Amino acid sequence: MITVTAAIIQNNGKVLAARRGPGRHMAGYWEFPGGKLEQNELPRECLKRELREELGISCRIDNFFCESIYQYDQVVIRLLAFLVTSNTRVCSLNDHDKLLWLLPHQLKRLRWAPADIPIMEKLLRMHGEPPL
C-alpha cells in the first residue's frame, strides 16, 4: 500500500482541480495535487513539499479532511486529504497539464481518479451540494 497526500486547496471559495499530465499513472484524470509520502516524512511535510514541487506555491495546511483507500489494478493507494488555504491562484504546471479553480458544485463535471470520489462526495456534502 502506498500512502499519498492530497490537497483540497481553497482560495476565495474556489477549489483547485488538477489534471494528471500525459505518461503518468492515471494520466488525464483529475486529482487533488500531492504525492507519495517519503521515508521519515510526516504527511503535512510531504504535502508542503509536493505543492512546492508541483505547483510552485507555499500553502497553509489546515485540517485533515479524510482518508480514501482504493485498489487500482497494480497498487493500493491510501490517499490522505487535507484542507489547504492558498493566498494565490497563480500556480505553475510542473506535473499537470491543466489546472482549474472551480466552485464546489462545478467539480462534479470532471473525470476524477476513482480514489478521489469519496473525497469529492464529502466535499459536496460539506457545501450542501447534491452527491455525484
Residues at the contact surface with ligand 8DG, assessed by CB under 6 A: 4, 6, 25-26, 31-36, 50, 77, 79, 113, 115-116
Within residues 59-88, the interface with Mg ion by CB under 5 A covers: none
**How many chain residues are in contact with Mg ion, going by CB under 5 A?**
1
Residue 116 binds which of ligand 8DG, Mg ion, none (CB < 5-8 A, kind-dependent): ligand 8DG
Measured CA distances, 106 to 15, 18, 27, 47, 90 (Å): 10, 13, 21, 24, 20
| Closer Cβ to Mg ion, 35 or 114, answer by number | 35
Q: Which cell numbers in the block locate residue 13?
A: 471559495
Which residue of 14, 26, 29, 35 would you call a contact of Mg ion, by CB under 5 A? 35
Cβ 1 vs Cβ 72: under 8 Å: no
Q: In which residue are the cell numbers 480514501 written?
A: 68
